[in-house]
Structure 1
């Protein structure tokens, strides 16, 4: 005999309240109902405010309401948890994460690190899981490989129930996330540092190679193109991919042979993003008879491992650690101010990179 709907839904509520968080497929198996049936029950219970839905999980709204009330009354307490969500293969963000963690540790706040896999919308399930686990704030560095994937996240990020801050991401003016605390590097300025350094050394024909997997890559491509096009001393320039890490959301693009591009342009200088790609491209140039810096000066962008190359690479170094530190401080302040009428204004902080000159650049003969 089939179990009455109201009895089944009471069993769902009891299971979720007992565990705090339950997977939908586990509930379906325990109640011996289909996925369609369990999702219909959860939908109805969520509309009545008895459950909170996540990506494949459900949780009790009681714990979230109590946590928010306590946060409004007492600010940050020892043992509170902040979720940090970063993309897979995030070596560029390691320094930022370490400095952010130091800030949270000093405040007595625990860090729950969530790694978002490749693919569009991968951050949302991680954030939902973190909120279901009771996180009182979220520090995010979404992958955002393309403008479309970025815009697709604006709606749900703008309606988060807890304070959030962005790290190394800067939504455009007028977007739904414009009024969200954020800290990032001024990559336009970093691009200018690289071009001006090469021009001062006498290089007039340049090649730019950037990745295609992040907002930083898109900003760098646009900035380098704009700066070179407007520079009175740059005679000719070209852009190509340093590597394609498109992942699962689109097909990898073709990466042109850098040696061929250099020779077509007659270039004696190159800006390569990021460090690992720059080191590999320098090796390829050597195999093709192009020596660095004798035949071509190279500036890397990121400065994570650029100094370990042979030769050590001149590099633009964004203030990665300070980005993480300030982003964590902004998030903690926002958590403290939650629900306060005199909360501090939103901040959009932009930090300038610096140029570190090593052995991969020299004056033209």
Structure 2
């Protein structure tokens, strides 16, 4: 047996190993699994077939991927009547949310839950319209939603959700304490901690003058800012650049001017590191700095938040990654438990920790400034 080979695994244990690898990397190859698990490729193909029949993955040539939102095949295990039918409304079916949906679908197949997915926008009125359509269908037992939660419109939407006669689990959202809502549950990444972790990473590299750039349209930004402000105060760092703007939504001319203005401020304030949310903004800042002749990360370290495309930067961008698929999985688990146990179950509100992935865009500051 070579150093890479493992003792043979059997039955459910082998299939659990396949799913663990899928959740870790997003895809698997039959040949690699057969070698690593010490079984024939035919055995792995049968395992993949069984998992696909349960709706847990999507078969592709030579292997499998996590269940894709584009996979319209019906799992054999789901052909019978599901235990519960749950509506799911998210503000986008791409970028960040596609991973959340993949996790939710995988968990739904395991829990005997049928998901009815609807895409909305970031407008509270559109979200309410999509939720209402699910309610009027009369066929859903509960709702998984990612609603607007800020301002008068967001607060009104949350209060309406609280009043509904069926359980609601928020995804990557939570209700402000001032609303005193008691029945709504949620599963969210601890984005406040994300801001703290970003500041600690930069401080550990000797950066003392640091700035932040967040996306103005994102509900995540205020949470990141809260953690960031708390941490830089406790760490004794000097806040410099502070901008809340969506550079990726500006047209070419305005975007170029905004980036020039940002980098001029970075230079003028001797800022050595930036936290940027989200990845597209981080890539824009990095590319513009390089085009202006900056040496990165020597002149400016960049840490991104989301980690959707950050690793494609040059150099690859250090990023904090919310556990997007696990958010979807846990949301379905919380909903299934609520539907199974009813009102006697205490309300559950879950916060998951983002993971730091260190890459080449952040470097130690030799002079500690």
TM-score by length of 1: 0.71
Query: Residue 315 of structure 1: CA displacement?
Result: 0.5
Q: 1:142 — aligned with what?
A: 147
Paired residues for 1:207-222 under 5 Å: 207-222=211-226
Change (3 A) 1:193 1:159: same
Change (3 A) 1:265 1:221: same
Q: 1:101 — aligned with what?
A: 105
Query: Residue 323 of structure 1: CA displacement?
Result: 1.3
Paired residues for 1:127-138 under 5 Å: 127-133=131-137, 134-138=139-143
Query: Residue 261 of structure 1: CA displacement?
Result: 2.3
> Which of 1 and 2 has greater Rg?
1
Give the 3-state SS of the residue equivalent to 1:298 in structure 2.
Answer: strand
Give the 3-state SS of the residue equivalent to 1:97 in structure 2.
Answer: helix
Paired residues for 1:1-365 under 5 Å: 78=82, 80-88=84-92, 90-133=94-137, 134-144=139-149, 146-232=150-236, 234-243=237-246, 257-338=261-342, 343-365=344-366
Query: Residue 246 of structure 1: CA displacement?
Result: 8.9
Q: Is the 8 A contact 2:124 2:147 kept in 1?
A: no
Query: In the aligned structure 2, how far is the partner of 1:266 from the partner of 1:207?
Result: 10
Q: Is the 8 A contact 2:248 2:280 kept in 1?
A: no
- Count of residue pairs the alignment pairs up: 280
Query: In the aligned structure 2, how far is the partner of 1:255 from the partner of 1:321?
Result: 34
Q: Is the 8 A contact 1:205 1:236 kept in 2?
A: yes
Query: In the aligned structure 2, how far is the partner of 1:221 from the partner of 1:149?
Result: 22
Query: In the aligned structure 2, how far is the partner of 1:255 from the partner of 1:122?
Result: 31
Change (3 A) 1:121 1:271: same
Query: Residue 331 of structure 1: CA displacement?
Result: 0.7
Higher mean alpha-carbon deviation, 110-119 vs 324-333, is at: 110-119
Query: In the aligned structure 2, how far is the partner of 1:192 from the partner of 1:140?
Result: 27
Higher mean alpha-carbon deviation, 168-177 vs 294-303, is at: 168-177
TM-superposition CA deviations, 1:143-194 (whole Å, max 9, x none): 44x4333212122111112211011112122425343111111112111111
Q: Is the 8 A contact 2:148 2:157 kept in 1?
A: no
Query: In the aligned structure 1, how far is the partner of 2:118 from the partner of 2:316?
Result: 33
Query: Residue 91 of structure 1: CA displacement?
Result: 1.5
Query: Residue 83 of structure 1: CA displacement?
Result: 1.0
**Structure 2, unpaired ranges of 5+:** 1-79, 251-256
Give the 3-state SS of the residue equivalent to 2:125 in structure 1.
Answer: coil
Aligned residues: CA RMSD:
2.5
Change (3 A) 1:245 1:290: closer
Higher mean alpha-carbon deviation, 170-179 vs 318-327, is at: 170-179
Change (3 A) 1:113 1:89: closer
Give the 3-state SS of the residue equivalent to 1:304 in structure 2.
Answer: coil
Query: Residue 199 of structure 1: CA displacement?
Result: 1.1
Give the 3-state SS of the residue equivalent to 1:299 in structure 2.
Answer: strand
Query: Residue 245 of structure 1: CA displacement?
Result: 8.0
Change (3 A) 1:143 1:311: farther
Q: Is the 8 A contact 1:79 1:109 kept in 2?
A: yes
Query: Residue 214 of structure 1: CA displacement?
Result: 2.9
Query: In the aligned structure 2, how far is the partner of 1:244 from the partner of 1:90?
Result: 19
TM-score by length of 2: 0.70
Give the 3-state SS of the residue equivalent to 2:216 in structure 1.
Answer: coil
